[in-house]
Amino acid sequence: MKLRGRILDVACLNRFTRVVTTISKLTKVCVLRLTPDNLFFVLSGKVANGGIGMWCELSQANVFDEYQMEGVSSEDNEICLEVTPENLSRALKTVQSAKAVKVKLTKKHCPCLTIAAELPTMSSTSRVVTHDVPVDIVPRRLWHEFKEPSMPDFHVSVYLPPLKTMKNVVDRMKNLSNFLVMEANLIGEMNLKIETDLVSVTTHFKDLGNPPWGDDASQDGGPSHSREPEAMVQARVDIRKLQQFLMGQQVNPSKAMCNIVHERVVHLILLHEDVSLQYFIPAVA
């Protein structure tokens, strides 16, 4: 297994750092998959994670100016590492001013992702910074757990309101209840509801719009055709998971969508430039 990459463009380095920082806010540990064309940050929806699934995809060409990767074998030409994204984020943040950043897979005291950079100084000499981020190699037999999740058969898909607004609402609701109901319909309306013994609060969002997935998208045939456009589809989720998702976002995405499978799962999709982030929050009873 071999990995050598160089980031030369400041904007690319910046964007990559922001993505990694967002990931670090969503989860403590995740899997980094490297293929000849892409990088993926993956969290499999296991019970241990509270059922949360995450899939973040970026193309390596938009990060690295030079990229050499040799996977485990020629048939399985990819590298699968378990990493703590916070370490990676910290390392990248300190080298923002570098002219070139090298990313390598190395073996020091343990397998590491080494971030090395030369930082410019006032004099003609340069400073060298090296960060060794420890990683765990994920064995091939476990790779199936980190495959791209299939698009769920959602009942409704709706564009999200501005994330900042949502975050403000959810932050306040969190003080009142542990669970929140997200519901949406086919005419671009979405509600966030909490209900306790003493109080129930609902925030209504209108005119959000529904993404045109097209007829061949997996809207299940029977029920959705007979579903009335105003009928709300809902899922009750742990409010902290939704809050965590909203807290982590650093940039306003160019597209933000939410797919709801009635009482099963909330599937959030963010698209920003060439980076896509999908987040699955399971519904609770």
Partner 1 sequence: MKSVLPLFRCLTSIERNVERCQISITPPNDQVMIQFFCRHGITKTHNLCFQESEALQAVFASHLSPNVLKAPARLLSDMVMHFPVSQEEITLSMTPLRVSLRNYYEGGDDHMKNMYTEMSLHPDEFDYFQIGVESDITFCLKELRGLLSFAESHCLPVSVHFGAAGKPVCFSVEDMVLEATVVLATLIDSESRGPSQPTETLAPTTPSCADAAAAVLPVGSCEADSRKPQDIAAVMELIASSQGSPIINPPALMLLLPQIDDSNKLSVADEACHSATTTPASSTICSLLFRALSSEDNDGCAARLPVLAFHSDEEEEDYTREQSCYT
For residues 232-261, which are near partner 1 according to CB under 8 A?
none
Specify the amino acid at residue 176.
L
Report how far apart, in Å, the C-alpha atoms of 20 and of each of 1, 49, 88, 199 are: 23, 19, 7, 39
* Among 51, 134, 152, 211, contact with partner 1 (rule: CB under 8 A): 134
Residue range at the interface with partner 1 (CB under 8 A); choices 11-19, 130-138, 217-225, 274-282: 130-138
* Among 11, 47, 107, 109, contact with partner 1 (rule: CB under 8 A): 109
Least CB distance to partner 1 at residue 50 (A): 22
Measured distance CA(171)–CA(155) in Å, rounded: 27
Q: Which residue number, 25 or 90, has a Cβ lying nearer to partner 1?
A: 90
Provide the total of helices (H) and of strands (E) in the chain, helices listed first: 5, 17
129 lies in the site for partner 1, by CB under 8 A: yes
Nearest residue to 217 via CA among 163, 254, 284, 269: 269
Residue range at the interface with partner 1 (CB under 8 A); choices 4-12, 90-98, 198-206, 231-239: 90-98
Least CB distance to partner 1 at residue 55 (A): 25
Tokens 């809050």 belong to 243
Measured distance CA(56)–CA(249) in Å, rounded: 13
CB-facing half-sphere around the CA of 232: CA atoms within 13 A = 15
Q: Which residue number, 132 or 183, has a Cβ lying nearer to partner 1?
A: 132
49 lies in the site for partner 1, by CB under 8 A: no
Least CB distance to partner 1 at residue 81 (A): 14
E strand intervals along the chain: 2-7, 30-34, 38-43, 53-59, 66-70, 79-83, 100-107, 111-119, 127-137, 156-159, 179-184, 190-195, 200-205, 233-238, 255-261, 265-272, 275-282
* Among 69, 71, 98, 132, contact with partner 1 (rule: CB under 8 A): 132
The first and second tokens of residue 267, run together, are 């599937």
Cα angle vertex 67, ends 61, 80, to 5°? 95
Q: Which residue number, 112 or 281, has a Cβ lying nearer to partner 1?
A: 112
Size of the site for partner 1 (CB under 8 A): 23
Least CB distance to partner 1 at residue 21 (A): 14
* Among 121, 150, 175, 226, contact with partner 1 (rule: CB under 8 A): 121
Nearest residue to 11 via CA among 101, 130, 133, 104: 101
Residue range at the interface with partner 1 (CB under 8 A); choices 128-136, 141-149, 189-197, 235-243: 128-136
Neighbours of 202 (CB within 10 A): 12
Q: Which residue number, 85 or 282, has a Cβ lying nearer to partner 1?
A: 85
* Among 108, 147, 172, 206, contact with partner 1 (rule: CB under 8 A): 108
Contacts with partner 1, residue ranges (CB under 8 A): 84, 87, 90-91, 94, 108-110, 112, 121-134
